[in-house]
Amino acid sequence: MQALKAFGNGKIQLIEEPTPTLSAGEVLIKPLAVGICGTDLDIVDSKIDPAFVNYPITLGHEWCGVVIESSADVTSIAIGDRVVAQGIIPCTTCRECTTGNTNRCEIYDEYGFTRAGAGSSAIVAEERLVHKILPSVSNESAALVEPAAVVMTGLFKANPKSGVKVLIIGDGTIGLITATFVRSWSPGQIDLVGLRKEQAQLVKLAGVDNFLQASNINNEKYDLVIEASGSKSGAEMALKKIARGGKLLFLGFIGYEASIPFIVDDIVNGDFSIYGSFGYTSIAWTKTVSLLNSGELDLTFIVTHRFALTDWQSGFDALVNGPAPRGKILLLP
């Protein structure tokens, strides 16, 4: 089968390798759509904390697929079912897992980082982590369960109050999903800061009230600021935009060992609450799938580019250099 592997230090290659065999309690899934993102670029370029990646690694942590083989004795998942699989693999027994914080499992393990991802002809997943997707859900929406669960986990932590003013920094996939979700908390205002004015239609579809350009940002302060750009400039802006007593949620990685300056007394005097949010919990994953299957959530509009897996170079080029409007980019194995 084909597998898109990252070897670190900028090396990436589509290779042929044997189709994996199943152990007890596993299913074999043929990927239908695989999202690529800035984190994949960081994996390729060795910019991720090395404690979180095992090289060489088959990329693909955002995806959906169809079950083609199963070794599970008792299962609610059947061959032919269209599915997604929770990527962060909880041990279920450590202190974090037993308190519901499965994103902080003491034994870190994740598809596309430490285990082979879905950028391939087939992926093995533990059946206990597999969720069925109903026919009414598009492949595009299903492939976005992973980033959507990331956003939901962060928002559960920040817990916005009704009527608050929200600023989202970043007009990419995470920013667009964040705006879509924040609306359900009934905020008084949602503004979004981006770099590309051509993103305006996507931003509007996400439910944003005001689309601001980073080059012409106002002096307004916000009750909740969400950094979703994964950039140093975005993180620096976020610290400046919090109203006194406000909250700041960091969703984006700005780079392994990268840092920004801040004044501790400003944090104290401002009475700020600052949250970091890693990955997603099993609760957030299950809730996201439920919202998709119920029809309450549809993220199809975020996908703007599709490429065959064999044309992965064009997909990565679009991710880096493609003109806006640009949302999620999918590879189709």
Per-residue model confidence as pLDDT tens digits over 238-269: 999 999 999 999 998 888 788 889 889 999 99
Dig out the tokens for 317 from the structure. 């080029």
Query: Is a pLDDT exceeding 90 seen at residue 74?
Result: no
Dig out the tokens for 236 from the structure. 């620096």
**pLDDT score at 297:** 97
Cis ω on the peptide bond leading into residue 56 (within 30° of 0)?
A: yes
d(C-alpha 175, C-alpha 202), whole Å: 11
Dig out the tokens for 41 from the structure. 């670029």
**pLDDT score at 229:** 96
Query: Is a pLDDT exceeding 70 seen at residue 56?
Result: yes
Query: Is a pLDDT exceeding 90 seen at residue 75?
Result: no
Question: Which long-range contacts does 107-110 make (Cβ < 8 Å, 24+ apart)?
Answer: 108/51, 108/52, 110/52, 110/61, 110/279
Banded model confidence at residue 215, pLDDT cuts 50, 70, 90: confident
- Helix intervals (H) in 77-172: 95-98, 139-143, 145-158
d(C-alpha 307, C-alpha 328), whole Å: 11
Query: Is a pLDDT exceeding 90 seen at residue 218?
Result: no
Query: Is a pLDDT exceeding 80 seen at residue 137?
Result: yes
Residue 182 DSSP code: H
Question: Buried b / exposed e across 13-42, counting CB within 10 Å, b at 16+?
Answer: eeeeeeeeeeeeebbbbbbbbbbbbbbbbb
**pLDDT score at 288:** 98
**pLDDT score at 72:** 78
Question: Buried b / exposed e across 254-269, counting CB within 10 Å, b at 16+?
Answer: beeeeeeeeeeeeeee
Strands 328-332 and 26-36: antiparallel
